[in-house]
Structure 1
Amino acid sequence: MNQTVRKLRFLEYWRIGEQESWFTDMAAEGLHLKKVGPFFAHFDKGEPKQMKYRLEVGVNKKITPEQVQMYKENGWDYVTTVHVFHVFSSPIERNAPELPIDTDTQSLGLGKLGKKLAIDCSIVAVALIITISLLYYIGFDDGTPTLYLVKGMVFQQSILTIYVGYLTYTTLQATKSIRALRNNLIEGKSIVHYTPWKKRHRLNSILNTLLITVVGLGSIVPIVQLIKSDTQTLPEESSTLPIVRLADVEQNPALIREEPTYIRDNVEWENKYTYDWSPFAPVQYDTDENGLIPVETWENGNNEYSPSLHTNVYQLTVPALADNLVNDLVSRYLYEVRDEQIVEINHPQFDRLIVYEEENRKRVFASKDKAVMYVRYHGHADRKLLLDNIAKKMHLISE
């Protein structure tokens, strides 16, 4: 049994002369064309031979036995079909005459292919508009594109948009090229059978490899995100998690955790942490913590003091995203607050620090190197103590 060798093929199948030259050069290396698939050309490995290849335009994808026999009698062996292009081969020593050109038949075949490509082009163009619209809606509609990018919510949609955009471009190119080929045929312009192919084939191979890699990554990322994502009950004792803890902020030994009111999947949702991953933020935490100090009350004196803390933590792979991420977090969580109520502070322990305070509520947005943190605190503790704890925890992931 002959060994089959697969090589990334020309996606631009309408470049007849270049493909004929490619098949001829492969045969000289001992690789003889067997068939052409969607992405690869299949060759049987054998003895090197001097061969000629020709691509003839047919009306249909299938060639009749009578046509195969007619070409064989003229010294040409049928090999395979690519779209409406029938591929024939002939050894040099056979000295076979050039295939006769049936202008009417080839024009009809190219016309049918051109109409199909025009329809395909319209379909993929509509698909591109839809994917771009979805990408805009997911990542840009609420004005927080960096946040969505970091959380990995637009990664797959971006990859899909790139793929559909590339597909739209290649389909449009195919439509225009088939129309030009048909016009040249009608005008009697002959095809140059020996055309340099290596430069274009190398470029196509690089582009296709990149496209396959990007699409492959786009398929793997959501699987990795699903595997890595985890939600657990937040432990009461202090831990090495890079999150601010309520006990460290309150600094009161009377702080306790109330009996949980909502437990699902063995998780106490009033006191939980969620870990997530994305290519742009491989470390992400989303936490909620609620406590009770029975010996204290709120200012009204009627209710027991029950402080709470919510934290979002991001460790970025690209530190340059930090500023935009801070801005997006402010837009997301302070969208109802007037700009003059939001204070940006120069602080030696942070690259950026934005604070919003209202009665017993404090919201802090901070960045340091590749670490970004958002903290929402409800309680009596002063701002300095809260900031000191934020700086301490951010140090764990900022380097």
Structure 2
Amino acid sequence: MSFALVIGGGPAGLMAAEALSEAGVPVVVAEAKPSVARKLLMAGKSGLNLTKDEPFQKFIEAYGTAAPELHPMLEAFGPAEATAWAEGLGQEMFTGSSGRVFPKSMKASPLLRAWLARLGARGVALRTRWRWVGVEDGFVFDTPEGRQVLRPGVTVLACGGASWARLGSDGAWAGFLEVDTAPFQPANMGFVVDWSPHMEKHFGAPVKSVRLSAGETSVRGEFIVSSQGIEGGGIYAVSREVRDGAALSVDLLPDLSEAEIRSRLARPRGKASLGNHLRKTLKLDPVKQALLMEFARPLPEDLAPVLKELHIPHDGPRPMDEAISTAGGIRFDALDSALMLRHMPGVFAAGEMLDWEAPTGGYLLTACLATGLWAGREAARFAAKTNVGITSVSRL
């Protein structure tokens, strides 16, 4: 049996390596950075959100137009399977009130250490600082030992999208891999706002308990006012629609109706300033008041509609390399149902290299793992059918 090559040591690539090694196929994982899974470790710094515990139909809807293509992979490895997989690596898991699933340690590093130990015990060989640079009668790498060319029996590409280049996902592969791709776009990103000077004292402040709306998406959440603009979970949840042209608005008082707001504002104001009146009657905190003044001046006599639907103009997304993830990548039309490239038999693709996007909240990581597992299993089947040549991984 020939060896399998996995290019990319993130969650999708490591999961593909796991599936291949389980099937008895010798595996080499080539990673451009000095260590693997750097983006996973970075995500885990604020709590590793592995998946989302919710009914499968609701879960799959989070993937939008890519849901039909991802359906079989996520049906085979969805929230329950992802949780069980992590528990199999010795990680005790818990589900938060929002349905998000985390390790009790909240960190990615214990899970990654256990995973790498298991892969190592199965003979998976890791080659770090191996940067894939082309396809010329084999897969060409720049390595510390110079140019290397590998000719595997099967290959799984898991090089990531085009965000967070310092962690390994720079999208460079799109420049030399001849395959039909959708252009990369930022996903789960912030937006640029050209603030007036009075907003400076609010930079870094969270805007809590609001409802953000764009297009057909409306979510309860919060966001951050930064010197560059707006960012955070609530913004990321509507970022796809905003990026694609939908207007962004925020309900600053989602628990009150317009009528209730009018009734409270009608209370005697006396000599109180408008700011104090808003604070006392509506509990409108300073950052929400600042947003109201930033985007709604001159203030109308009836403030209720504005407070319920404050439009937020912006100057477009923050740069793609700052985005949590990207849209775009290899089109599903260029792949068969096994995630094999139609024009390159024996070459499969997984993870954020594929043309899909999803919000944060466990969806991104679950789909990376699911597509990596699917591609790895299918690559193992292909290797078993073709059974070309014999190569010792230890010689590579």
**TM-score bin (small chain):** under 0.3
- Please identify which structure carries the higher strand content: 1
State the TM-score, normalizing by the size of structure 2: 0.22
State the TM-score, normalizing by the size of structure 1: 0.22
- RCO (CA 8 Å, sep 6+): is it higher in 1 or 2? 2
